[in-house]
Structure 1
């Protein structure tokens, strides 16, 4: 997601694919925090815990091995269950590495889209509080404005989706795998006027970008480091199966089969930029730039955008090579599919293996990553051309344990069956 000044391709892609990926795109709830499990928490005898096993000490002194949250695949997105307020209220939000703000729909909702679950009511939480205009948190969000000395915000997206509301502080309660609880306060957007490409399962966004107001940045010092990892499930996975996202020390991706590429620092801190040099289709190498010149940080990873988006020239050359290696004729007579490269087949498409060549890291994609079925009997190439920047979408990220390490500025991939995580 982005501010009203900057646009996030997640929703631009949702708009582009509204006819193509039929029933594919959906989001979910999001707000101030997560209900999580700690893999291996400190001893309950720690002086930071009271007799009720509730964390009471200074959070920046507490370093669990990793903070974990369950994530499910839902219509092309990855939804995290979060818990905020006192008493805690469960919210479901899209895990989005392409944006920063954490927000949910809030009562009173003067201009909200329909959602199945009850809308969060801050008046029912004893730990909710608005930020004042002079607060550090209000200054950090560059769309922050004031209304009667209360910090308000406007956060807009490329497809004209928008959330408007109050920047507030709320308690996030997290649960360890031993039943212990950890609570901390974070800043989140209490959205009172929200519109755009949202369905009734969506309650907001969980921003996991690199900016100062993202969930990752807010809890970084609390849980040992500014790093996290996720294992996203393939499209179409049964929603009853959950994968995991881990935060802080212990979330590093290490072991056999790990490949890593540098994260590229840019002035705009939200996206996680990497350098894509080219993609091999089978044994045929297709360079990112036909002239051989590649700029650093020409792609960024976005868990909130399903397909991979590349410059049009690169896409055209890539699609030609993919067609050469598929022994079927592509669909030409379906207006719903537009110009997308699609095939009719009753079973999973047996397409070529694509190897993504990042700087210093080769990542092998199987047909499950590169061909997605928008409707029965049809499989379409899960990459698109664009006149804008490059996005490495969540279809290509599925079944990889991917580590985002802002301490070492490295991004790591490990092939993993995320359904067994």
Structure 2
């Protein structure tokens, strides 16, 4: 009996040294965020944040993680924090003043790798491009670094993957719908200009975990410069990004480099319009299924695109001015040949149009094989035939139908 009791006591002592499963964090913290770790984070993003991060079976914790644009942004910071035993904390959208962090113990019954994956899923479910405004803060344009993000709240978000010698902030992004996918890397600036009156968009940096409760204006490196500059330039994308490249560049950007990045951004911007058009058509179908024919003022404002369509014209005009400054087209330059196919008055040869269309086609709505060439879009923009009214059918929205559109509904 004494022998059994002695073994029982030894077992109790041994168990006292085993961590309690009931209080297990998602991962333990061994380091704290500071300037050194921010530097390591930037280096990690440049070298390890790859387009296959969620599609590589050699990384089973992240493999086939379903994501959209904001999910990928949050995952970038989360994964580095996990791999380096740093704290990860963001604001809890449902509970003011509380945070979502790696100290949560909702998944104690799982092995550590599964805890991390469930935490990633939970963060993805609890966040969006809207919530990024609260978990990040704007920085000075000459301070943009890998690991920073660009946020257009409620619309899109990007990860800044690198900054080139020519001062170009290269981006990576996911998209909708939420699914496992390769991230898209683009050697060009995001195609937005900061304009949120609440200063919630633009080039931003994650708040460090220990600073998550502090307002943006109290974060290290906080700056409102980009908002003032964008307003001074009347939100001209080309002029705005030219200034950023000069601030960040170690050398001057070559004309071909600039032509390429502008065409890439134009392609992205044009295709992004399809999201707005799709959302408007889906919403219109929804309210008509409920017995309403017309949108009210708020709904109209939410789904119409006059400002976006005006900026699209400004974008085409700005690129045209850039090409005029460059001078004649160099036949050896592929970007110049694409630009000529977009902007020339004469119909380009079939092989040039084929090359341009392989580079970029504009998907006119989501989920359908319905495309327009970039040249045709430029012609429709020049003819002012795009319709911003959210009641308009798809062909009118993109200017395919050149007749005036009248929905019979109020315009606001």
TM over 0.5: no
> Which structure has the larger Rg over C-alpha atoms?
2
More strand by share: 1
More helix by share: 2
Give the TM-score normalised by structure 2: 0.25
Structure possessing the higher relative contact order (Cα contacts under 8 Å, 6 or more residues apart): 1
Give the TM-score normalised by structure 1: 0.25
